[in-house]
Structure 1
Amino acid sequence: MVRDNDIVAIFHGIHRVMKAEKILKEAGAEILLIPTPRELSSDCGLAIRFVPAERERVLKVLAEADLNPVELYRRSGRDYELLLSSAGNPG
């Protein structure tokens, strides 16, 4: 379940998202592996959900591991707002 304002990180491939989950949990980040919301397309059926307060830590840990997500979305009501694309540009 994705709550309002939660952030969802999308990755290319199951191996990358599983590795990201492991690294983030080891770093103490409060994240949850979830099925990719059907409103979002993905090569992988899984995504990582976290609260906005964790965003800086999550992105720092992922960047250090060269596991940047291809997209970041924020849940806003019934919609998802694109925050970041794989090109590093805000949506």
Structure 2
Amino acid sequence: MQYIVTFYTQNGAFKFQRFLRDKGIDVKLMPTPRVLSSSCGISAAFEYEEDITGFIIEEVDAIYKRNNNQYNLVYRD
């Protein structure tokens, strides 16, 4: 399952990227899709099949599941 995460700041996006990489999860930073609202223009995309509640850190604004070009809100701070 693919997830897109939005952040409050660019620094938060970089911190989240390090956080996931430390857990061995491949994560890519990318421009935030226009259909998603965020305080920062950078979002993170990653694939994960298990429970993601442990990935909700202070810097996360929202988490979306991506299915084709549709985004379903999973979490919002």
Q: With structure 1 as the length reference, what TM-score do the two structures score?
A: 0.69
Higher strand share: 2
Task: Considering Cα pairs closer than 8 Å and 6+ residues apart, tell me whether 1 or 2 has the greater RCO.
Answer: 2
- CA–CA distance in 1 between the matches of 2:23 and 2:37? 28
| Runs of 5+ unmatched residues, structure 1 | 87-91
Which of 1 and 2 has greater Rg? 1
Matched residue count: 77
Percent of aligned positions with the same letter in both sequences? Answer: 26
Divergent runs of 4+, >4 A? none
Q: CA RMSD in A?
A: 2.0
Change (3 A) 1:46 1:55: farther
Q: With structure 2 as the length reference, what TM-score do the two structures score?
A: 0.79
Aligned partner of 2:32 in structure 1 is: 36
| Runs of 5+ unmatched residues, structure 2 | none
Higher helix share: 1
- Cα deviation for residue 77 of structure 1 reads 3.2
**Any conservation in 2 of the 1:20–1:67 contact (CA below 8 Å)?**
no
